[in-house]
């Protein structure tokens, strides 16, 4: 009896445990089932905007579809497209790390630049003389016959015979004799007329470039000078000779070209994009390849008001003292102009800028993983930094690497947003499966051909 009672008790206990365990499992299963049904219901309520080709994001469909390889189109939901301005991109942290996104702050500070240019040495135009005779004649003798010779001021270069100068000397001698003969005349008008005539004849010789010392000799000796001297106007170097002995010359004939090289110019060619950096008075350093180890300093004295059509450069003039004659005309020079720094400007790394042709963009970090395209106005660029005139504020964070990958996604999302807006305005027009967005033209501002939204969005 005792054994039967024990067995009955064990059966009752086992039955109770079984009922309790079953109840607990049923409860847990019901909760899981209820949760799964809720998730499925939430998933069902979250309707996709459209479906995107997994191999070509430019191809979309309003209904589920498969591509040529049998792969299902990927659903795109409203929250996938992010929020904020058109083109805002939202990327998960893993992808941000994988594509190597780096950022930098927009800062305010100085922007300095050194303009480098190529120049050449030329004579100072104010110290360059081209000698021409004032009358016609013949070259009688030449004192300087070789180009490159150094000459002193008033040195005789050549002598010419001019019939006009001979007749003018005769007129002057006659005027002098007439003045002497009438010097004792009781009539003041006659004396004054004789003096005016002599003064006029002398002035004529001076205007014909007869040297002063030969005029004095003519007055003292009374003998006509057949050879009239041509003198150097200053200390300098003969840069060119245009005649030889016995040659007939006239006012159009260049006898000599003389340059004073104690002071020279350096004409540097500055490209137009660097023109905003420079101004008159800026200090410059000049180095000459033919003079290793030598360094010359000067300042910009003039910026020419026109461009060279072939090189698209502006000539900048530097004036240099050249007492030793080391700088010679037509030498090439490397010029470095120390431009003044721009103080207190907004700066970003130059690599952060995405240039699309007609506009420039920066991707601003709105929050971790969220990037907003921002159109900006660019200023000067130097030393890897670019000035921002408008579009961002100091302290904002911008993308400096992988921004072209972000830009591609931004273009795609902006195109999608415009397409969906166009479809909604068109009364719910449908899009056929496998329709390529490159074949769609939505409006005047959005041409989907080749994923190009408008002229300003061209990469």
CATH number, residue 403: 2.40.420.20
Residue 132 falls inside a structural domain? no
CA separation for the pair 251, 130 (Å, rounded):
12
What pLDDT, on a 0 to 100 scale, did the predictor assign at position 67?
A: 84
For the chain, percent of residues with pLDDT exceeding 70: 76
What pLDDT, on a 0 to 100 scale, did the predictor assign at position 431?
A: 44
Residue 307 falls inside a structural domain? yes
Residue 11 has pLDDT above 60, yes or no: no
Last residue of a domain, one of 291, 320, 340: 340
According to DSSP, the residues that pair with 51 across neighbouring strands are 61, 75
- Other Cβ atoms closer than 10 A to 416: 21
Q: Which of 25-29, 89-93, 119-123 has the lowest mean pLDDT?
A: 25-29
What's the pTM value of the predicted model, to 2 decimals?
0.61
Residue 59 falls inside a structural domain? no
Q: Which of 245-249, 396-400, 430-434 has the lowest mean pLDDT?
A: 430-434
Q: Tokens 């010029």 sit at which residue? A: 335
3-class secondary structure, 217 = helix
What pLDDT, on a 0 to 100 scale, did the predictor assign at position 420?
A: 61
The answer to whether residues 247 and 272 belong to one domain is no
Across 213-228, average pLDDT? 94
Pairing of strands 50-52, 74-76: antiparallel
For the chain, percent of residues with pLDDT exceeding 90: 51
Give the confidence band of 422 by pLDDT, cuts at 50, 70, 90: low
What pLDDT, on a 0 to 100 scale, did the predictor assign at position 450?
A: 35
Across 241-266, average pLDDT? 95
According to DSSP, the residues that pair with 259 across neighbouring strands are 128, 237
The answer to whether residues 91 and 32 belong to one domain is no
Q: Tokens 């947003």 sit at which residue? A: 417
The answer to whether residues 284 and 334 belong to one domain is yes
Across 3-14, average pLDDT? 49
Q: Which residue has the higher pLDDT, 242 or 443?
A: 242
What pLDDT, on a 0 to 100 scale, did the predictor assign at position 421?
A: 62
The answer to whether residues 86 and 146 belong to one domain is no
CA separation for the pair 231, 4 (Å, rounded):
154
Give the confidence band of 440 by pLDDT, cuts at 50, 70, 90: very low
Residue 51 falls inside a structural domain? no
Whether the CB-CB separation of 324 and 349 falls below 8 Å is answered with no
Q: Which residue has the higher pLDDT, 99 or 146?
A: 146
Number of domains in the chain: 4
Helix axes 163-181, 188-207, angle to 10 degrees: 160
Across 183-207, average pLDDT? 92
**Average pLDDT over all residues of the chain:** 80
CA separation for the pair 57, 273 (Å, rounded):
39
What pLDDT, on a 0 to 100 scale, did the predictor assign at position 41?
A: 47
Stretch (H or E) spanning 237: strand 236-241
The answer to whether residues 330 and 349 belong to one domain is no
Q: State both tokens at 99.
A: 């594509």
Across 444-456, average pLDDT? 38
Residue 356 has pLDDT above 90, yes or no: no
Residue 304 falls inside a structural domain? yes
Q: Which residue has the higher pLDDT, 69 or 44?
A: 69
Residue 122 has pLDDT above 90, yes or no: yes
Q: Compute the half-sphere exposure of residue 290: CA atoms within 13 Å on the CB side of its CA.
A: 10
Residue 64 falls inside a structural domain? no
Residue 362 has pLDDT above 70, yes or no: yes
In terms of residue numbers, what domain contains 37?
1-45
Last residue of a domain, one of 206, 234, 254: 254
What pLDDT, on a 0 to 100 scale, did the predictor assign at position 437?
A: 41
The overall longest dimension of the chain from CA atoms, in Å, is 191
Residue 418 has pLDDT above 90, yes or no: no
Residue 2 has pLDDT above 80, yes or no: no
- Other Cβ atoms closer than 10 A to 316: 25
Give the confidence band of 83 by pLDDT, cuts at 50, 70, 90: low
């Amino acid at each position: 009896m005792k054994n039967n009672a024990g067995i009955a008790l064990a059966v009752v206990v086992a039955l109770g445990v079984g009922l309790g365990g079953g109840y607990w499992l049923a409860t847990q299963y019901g909760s899981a089932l209820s949760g799964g049904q809720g998730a499925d219901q939430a998933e069902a309520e979250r309707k996709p905007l459209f479906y995107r080709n997994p191999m070509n994001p430019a191809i979309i469909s309003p209904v589920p579809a498969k591509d040529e390889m049998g792969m299902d189109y990927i659903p795109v939901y409203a929250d996938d497209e992010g929020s904020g301005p058109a083109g805002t991109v939202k990327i998960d942290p893993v992808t941000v790390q994988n594509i190597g996104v780096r950022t930098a702050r927009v800062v305010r500070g100085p922007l300095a630049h050194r303009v480098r240019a190529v120049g050449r040495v030329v004579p100072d135009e104010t110290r360059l003389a081209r000698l021409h005779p004032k009358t016609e004649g013949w070259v009688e003798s030449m004192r300087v016959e070789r180009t490159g010779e150094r000459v002193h001021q008033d040195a005789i270069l050549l002598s010419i015979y001019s019939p006009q100068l001979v007749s003018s000397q005769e007129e002057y001698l006659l005027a002098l004799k007439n003045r002497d003969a009438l010097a004792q005349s009781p009539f003041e008008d006659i004396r004054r007329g004789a003096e005016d005539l002599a003064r006029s004849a002398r002035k004529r010789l001076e205007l014909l470039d007869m040297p002063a010392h030969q005029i004095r000799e003519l007055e003292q000796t009374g003998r006509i000078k057949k050879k009239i001297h041509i003198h150097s106007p200053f200390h300098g170097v003969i840069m060119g000779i245009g005649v030889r002995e016995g040659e007939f010359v006239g006012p159009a004939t260049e006898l000599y070209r003389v340059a004073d090289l104690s002071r020279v110019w350096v004409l540097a060619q500055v490209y137009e994009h660097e023109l905003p950096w420079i101004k008159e008075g800026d200090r410059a350093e000049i180095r000459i390849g033919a003079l290793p180890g030598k360094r010359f300093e000067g300042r910009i004295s003039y910026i020419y008001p026109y461009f060279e059509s072939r090189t698209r450069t502006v000539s900048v003039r530097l004036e240099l003292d050249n007492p030793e004659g080391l700088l010679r005309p037509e030498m090439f020079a490397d010029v470095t102009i120390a431009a003044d720094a721009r103080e207190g400007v907004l700066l970003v790394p130059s690599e952060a800028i995405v240039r699309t042709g007609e506009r420039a963009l920066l991707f601003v970090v709105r929050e971790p993983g969220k990037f907003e395209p921002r159109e900006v106005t660019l200023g000067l660029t130097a030393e890897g930094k670019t000035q921002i005139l408008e579009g961002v504020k100091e302290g904002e964070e911008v993308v400096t690497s992988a921004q072209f990958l972000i830009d591609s996604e931004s273009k795609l999302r902006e195109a999608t947003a415009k397409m969906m807006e166009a479809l909604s305005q068109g009364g719910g027009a449908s899009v056929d499966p496998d329709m390529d967005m490159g074949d769609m033209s939505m409006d005047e501002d959005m041409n989907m051909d080749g994923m190009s939204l408008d002229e300003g969005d061209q990469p």
